[in-house]
Amino acid sequence: MNNRNVVSFLRGLVGLISVCVIITTALGQTVDGFTPTVTTETWDGFILYTAVPLVDGEVLAGGSNATFPYGLSDFGTSLSITNLVHLESDGAVDASFQTSDQEDGFNGDGDGYLCVAVTTNGQIIVGGEFTTLDGHGCYGLGRLNVDGSFDSTFSRCPFLHPIDCVQVQPDGKVLVCGWETPLTRLKSDGSRDSSLLDSISGNTGTMALQPDGKILVGGQFTEIDDQARTNLVRLNADGSVDSSFMGHSWGAVEWAGGLTAVQALLVQPDGKILVGGNFNQVDGLVHTNIVRLNADGTVDPAFNAQLDAAGCWGVYGLAMQADGKIILGDDSATLNGMPCVAVGRLNPDGSIDQGFATNVFSRSDAEGIFSVALQPDGALLLTGFFSTVCGQPRSGIGRLINTDAAIEGFAYDGTNLFWQRGGTGPEVWRTTFENSVDGIAWTYLGDGTRVAGGWQLTNVFVASNSILRARGFVTGGYRNGSSYYVESRCRLPVPKIVCNGAGFGLTNLAFGFDISGGASTMVVVDRSTNLYNWTPVSTNTLDQKGSHFCDATTTNSGSGPQFYRLRLQP
């Protein structure tokens, strides 16, 4: 959204009591100073699979055989963190976050941490191929506390194969799946709730949650619960196959040994579904490694993006900006016929966005991007196997300053909350609204409903001087396996006596003043002669312009000083 659109948005909010607008200025697409030090090994031995943004600009990064060294001069030694690390906003390693490396994989060659989910209380669910987590026996899935210590309250259900994808449902239950692990639902404490896909012919490796509770599952399979479904299926909330969602045939890529797979999924705000993976046809039509489906599963013919198929294992990561533009992470060399190595951006219709640089990588210094993730300010995190970004040394992880601004607007009119989102910030698939009086204890107000330009919660009443908080939930990472949230806060105004307004002073020998504050707020005016004993004299319900108070009992007849104060109606 440009500045003109921001002004138009503000004009549309005239009369609203509380408006907070945040514009994160973009400096143009280039690599920034985010420079973690990563010790790399070989292609087969080292990969950073995912980087998960946190609300404060910091980052969690996970991978396989990835070592982040750092020095602690106070102790005269040098330590290292392996495979899961907490990074400061500039890329420096947070030494206080200490999680021990896993000892081994299931078969002696563990793939480390493949997916990360950050919960709203700051805990971290990690999935992958490992047998220990922070020194505790833990097969494939575990939960850490905010400081990286092991959470022993999370049940350790043993998984015999890697976990590629972990998603947290709105009710707190956890969905997991992997290339050889059936889609399984766990309770919030980690104990098994149900296995949703006990009968599957093939492998699952990616999933996406829809706002209506349905679950999209992708991978490399031919049958689900005795029903023919190839590589992509949609389940109802109870795990049964959604028969209204169309099945597909996928053209095999010769380079990949004649195999096809769905490797990444993203549900758009309009219900359409982006599907990335390794294929060159969908239902007989040419769609190379990326396709968009309508909400019923039919192919959207208006979306015609194509990646090169030769030597390319397809799309591994997808991210969508709040303005509808789509970022791809892959190992291709061209996008829509134009040179574009490993990462590119599409317009909402699938055409290539030529405002996004195509020279982020060269084929000589990048084998592939496995994860793309947008930070709240629109900065783009990239992980994978590469040695430079935009010609600057970056090993396995880098960050781009985006081409445009990320914009948020928060408004409350006394009845309705509106969270406006635009620009390069991450698109979210669900939102929640809360309020607080101290910024510590929060009260849930409700889930947001998507409206034009953002999210809204109607018929909600909060006290003036409340702090409002909106949270939006994002999925991304390698095979859409990771998830995080973004948030915005806004404090409502305190009712005030307007001392410099035309309504302040004596009128017809009666003293009065205007009151400003939040619409629908009930404000009590108290009067005192000694600043010690107070008497309520009026209760005023503010409208969008506030209210006017007039004390007819106070005159200019020398009755002594009178003092007034405002307080909220309890």
Reference 181, options 161, 200, 208; nearest CA is 161
- Give CA–CA dist 437/507, Å, rounded: 37
Residue 254's φ and ψ, nearest 5 degrees, are: -60, -40
Reference 342, options 375, 376, 304, 390; nearest CA is 390
Among positive and negative, which fits the CA dihedral 410, 413, 418, 424?
Answer: negative
Q: Are strands 200-209 and 227-228 parallel, antiparallel or unpaired?
A: unpaired
- Over its C-alpha atoms, the chain yields an Rg (Å, rounded) of 27
Where helices occur in 17-146 by DSSP H, the ranges are none
- Give CA–CA dist 559/506, Å, rounded: 14
The domain locations on the chain are: 496-568
Asked whether the beta carbons of 189 and 174 are under 8 A apart, the reply is no
Q: What is the pLDDT along the chain (570 residues), one digit of tens a residue?
A: 343 333 333 333 333 334 444 554 433 456 776 767 655 444 344 567 889 999 888 999 887 755 544 433 332 334 445 678 888 888 888 878 866 554 445 454 556 788 999 999 999 999 988 888 888 888 889 999 998 889 999 998 888 888 999 999 999 999 999 888 888 999 999 999 877 765 666 788 899 999 999 999 999 998 887 888 999 999 999 888 999 999 999 887 665 556 788 999 999 999 999 999 999 899 999 999 999 999 999 999 999 898 876 666 789 999 999 999 999 998 888 888 888 888 999 999 999 998 888 788 877 776 788 899 999 999 999 988 888 888 888 878 889 988 888 888 887 777 788 999 999 999 999 999 999 988 899 999 999 999 999 999 999 888 767 889 999 999 988 899 999 999 998 877 777 888 888 889 888 878 899 988 777 777 889 888 888 788 999 988 888 788 999 988 765 555 678 888 887 665
